[in-house]
């Protein structure tokens, strides 16, 4: 497994394997007058990084550059990696190169990604002189040419953004990878959202139980059995099953993934809750003619989009009885943003992160009285690190289940996301709102002690 993770393996690029180092014009057997790749690539480094290479780089001719005392090393296997980054000089080009196997990262994966992120200047507009120099280097290295074929794992959606058909296709791209692959990463809880770690030694499964229980208590489900719960974007049914098992709720879960629906139904049956938990293949926009005492939305809101969030909260408000509560659990970003280009193409197509302040305002516009806002940012760092450990600890099995490129997508995305949460670039918030009664009563407990 260590060899597979550290890049000492066959090159998986569909364009063919890289030529042997000794056959390349810039190999270690070249004329003494010719520079090494590491020497030749310095102008490219200046375009991508402020202050030079932030970590060690190793190239296909065996030459290296960058400081010795770094968390790890970026291994560049062939000029194809540079070609990808010339055509897409941002995280998408780097991501494509990693997914295709044109580059690998050895050593501390988290540390290398942090160092690269801190030092990159690729979002700044390089000077014409720098670009000319970089292009000259790329030509000498054989990296100038047509764009390499994109990895097949990159999604291409059609239709109007956030239309029902396109949203369904986006969800299927992400979730219909295979339940066995998700089970390997997520563990027995099969819960694909931020866990809640109550102590240093808390297991991932216990932390997911704690998160579900916190949501149930915030929604008032312990007040009495028989409450009707809607779980929007129910995943594999863990929240709905928890509410039914622990608090006697009558739960309806909705998803756009046929695979998730089938598995969630099986899990409900295995838990003895088939009569208490209904799992539907349904878009939230198609819900009508029924009401609920409580609604949970966990890891779903990122798929809604800013333009549709008023519609989203308006629909959920209309589905609640007076005094009913909504718990919206979602990743947030100060100022908001669409997902970056790599995550949008490979992980969450059309995903958007909304500033939590905008979420609160949108809920209030829909009629909700917002009663509580809680950040679980540090908990998501721990959750993602646990998922990465699961993936790396069963790497061969993950490759067998989903293919090497898909496994590489997940390793890169989850590691980078853990760093982003750790550094505060993104967060995750639970926002609790209530639909007041006609006379303005919230029917809420007087303090947070009910769910503390």
**Could you tell me if residue 361 is inside a domain?**
yes
Same domain flag for 209 and 118: no
What local confidence, expressed as pLDDT, does residue 120 receive? 73
**In degrees rounded to 5, what are phi and psi of residue 240?**
-60, -40
Residue 36 clears pLDDT 60, i.e. is over it: yes
Residue 289 clears pLDDT 80, i.e. is over it: yes
**Could you tell me if residue 153 is inside a domain?**
no
What local confidence, expressed as pLDDT, does residue 17 receive? 43
Residues across the chain: 452
**Could you tell me if residue 156 is inside a domain?**
no
Residue after which a domain boundary falls, among 105, 140, 175? 140
**Could you tell me if residue 158 is inside a domain?**
no
Same domain flag for 326 and 229: yes
Same domain flag for 177 and 130: no
**Could you tell me if residue 155 is inside a domain?**
no
Residue 50 clears pLDDT 80, i.e. is over it: no
Residues 373, 395: contact at Cβ < 8 Å?
no
CB-facing half-sphere around the CA of 302: CA atoms within 13 A: 26
- Between 136 and 196, whose confidence is greater? 196
Express as a percent the part of the chain with pLDDT over 90: 67
Residue after which a domain boundary falls, among 140, 175, 190? 140
Q: How confident is the model at residue 173 (pLDDT cuts 50, 70, 90)?
A: low
**Could you tell me if residue 272 is inside a domain?**
yes
Residue 14 clears pLDDT 50, i.e. is over it: no
On average, the pLDDT of the chain sits at 88
Instruction: Report how far apart, in Å, the C-alpha atoms of 271 and of each of 190, 246, 265, 274 are.
Output: 14, 11, 10, 8
Same domain flag for 200 and 81: no
What local confidence, expressed as pLDDT, does residue 35 receive? 82
Q: For residue range 372-391, what is the model confidence (pLDDT) as tens digits?
A: 999 999 999 999 999 999 99
CB atoms within 10 A of CB 302: 18
What local confidence, expressed as pLDDT, does residue 126 receive? 57
What local confidence, expressed as pLDDT, does residue 140 receive? 81
- Between 255 and 176, whose confidence is greater? 255
What local confidence, expressed as pLDDT, does residue 174 receive? 60
Number of domains forming the structure of the chain: 2
Check residue 66 and report its DSSP letter: S
Rounded CA gap, 283 and 8, in Å? 45
Same domain flag for 93 and 187: no
Tokens of residue 167, six digits: 């949203």
Same domain flag for 183 and 132: no
State the average pLDDT over residues 319-337. Answer: 96
Residue 224 clears pLDDT 90, i.e. is over it: yes
Same domain flag for 365 and 301: yes
* H/E element, 361: helix 356-366
Q: How confident is the model at residue 29 (pLDDT cuts 50, 70, 90)?
A: very low
CATH of the domain at 333: 3.40.50.150
What local confidence, expressed as pLDDT, does residue 311 receive? 96
> What is the domain range of residue 433?
164-450
**Could you tell me if residue 154 is inside a domain?**
no
Residue by residue, DSSP assigns 194-230 as -----STT--HHHHHHHHHHHHHHHTTGGG-TT-EEE
Same domain flag for 99 and 194: no
Residue 8 clears pLDDT 70, i.e. is over it: no
What local confidence, expressed as pLDDT, does residue 165 receive? 75
What local confidence, expressed as pLDDT, does residue 123 receive? 47
Express as a percent the part of the chain with pLDDT over 70: 87
Residues 176, 281: contact at Cβ < 8 Å?
no
What local confidence, expressed as pLDDT, does residue 13 receive? 45
Residue 136 clears pLDDT 70, i.e. is over it: yes
Residue after which a domain boundary falls, among 106, 140, 174? 140
**In degrees rounded to 5, what are phi and psi of residue 388?**
-60, -40
- Between 215 and 45, whose confidence is greater? 215
Residue 1 clears pLDDT 80, i.e. is over it: no
State the average pLDDT over residues 131-150. Answer: 81
Same domain flag for 129 and 173: no
Rounded CA gap, 49 and 42, in Å? 10
Q: For residue range 402-439, what is the model confidence (pLDDT) as tens digits?
A: 999 999 999 999 999 999 999 999 999 999 999 999 99
Same domain flag for 130 and 274: no
Same domain flag for 185 and 331: yes
- Between 336 and 29, whose confidence is greater? 336
């Amino acid at each position: 497994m260590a060899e597979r993770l550290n890049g000492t393996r066959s090159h998986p690029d569909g364009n063919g394997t890289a030529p042997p180092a000794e056959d390349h014009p810039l190999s270690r057997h070249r004329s003494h007058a010719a520079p090494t790749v590491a020497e030749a690539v310095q102008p490219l480094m200046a375009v991508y990084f402020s202050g030079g290479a932030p970590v060690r780089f190793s190239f296909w001719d065996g030459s290296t550059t960058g400081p010795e005392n770094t968390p790890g090393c970026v291994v560049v296997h062939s000029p194809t990696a540079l070609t990808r980054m010339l055509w897409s000089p941002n995280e998408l080009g780097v991501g494509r190169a990693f997914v295709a196997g044109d580059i690998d990262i050895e050593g501390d994966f988290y540390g290398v990604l942090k160092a690269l992120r801190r030092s990159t200047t690729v979002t700044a507009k390089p000077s014409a002189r720098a670009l000319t120099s970089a292009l000259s280097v790329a030509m000498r290295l054989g990296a100038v040419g047509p764009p390499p074929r994109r990895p097949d794992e990159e999604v291409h959606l059609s239709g109007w953004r956030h239309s029902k058909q396109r949203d369904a296709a986006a969800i299927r791209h992400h979730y219909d990878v295979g339940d066995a692959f998700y089970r390997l990463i997520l563990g027995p809880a099969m819960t694909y959202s931020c866990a809640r770690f109550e102590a240093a030694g808390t297991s991932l499964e216990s932390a997911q139980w704690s998160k579900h229980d916190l949501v149930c208590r915030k929604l008032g489900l312990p007040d009495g059995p028989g409450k009707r719960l809607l779980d929007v974007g129910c995943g594999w049914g863990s929240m709905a099953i928890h509410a039914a098992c622990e608090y006697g709720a009558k739960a309806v879960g909705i998803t756009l993934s046929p695979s998730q629906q089938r598995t969630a139904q099986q899990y409900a049956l295995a838990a003895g809750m088939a009569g208490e938990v209904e799992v539907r293949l349904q878009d939230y926009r198609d819900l009508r003619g029924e009401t609920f005492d409580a609604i949970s939305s966990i890891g779903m809101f990122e798929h809604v989009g800013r333009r549709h969030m008023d519609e989203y909260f308006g629909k959920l408000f209309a589905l609640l009885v007076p005094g009913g509560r909504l718990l919206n659990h979602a990743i947030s970003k100060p100022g908001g943003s669409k997902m970056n280009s790599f995550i949008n193409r490979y992980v969450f197509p059309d995903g958007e992160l909304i500033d939590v302040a905008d979420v609160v305002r949108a809920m209030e516009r829909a009629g909700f009285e917002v009663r509580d806002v809680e950040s679980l940012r540090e908990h998501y760092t721990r959750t993602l690190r646990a998922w990465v450990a699961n993936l790396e600890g069963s790497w061969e099995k993950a490759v067998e289940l989903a293919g090497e490129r898909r496994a590489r997508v997940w390793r890169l995305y989850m590691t980078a996301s853990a760093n982003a949460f750790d550094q505060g670039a993104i967060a995750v918030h639970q926002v609790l709102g209530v639909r007041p009664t006609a006379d303005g009563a919230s029917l809420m407990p007087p303090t947070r002690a009910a769910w503390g």
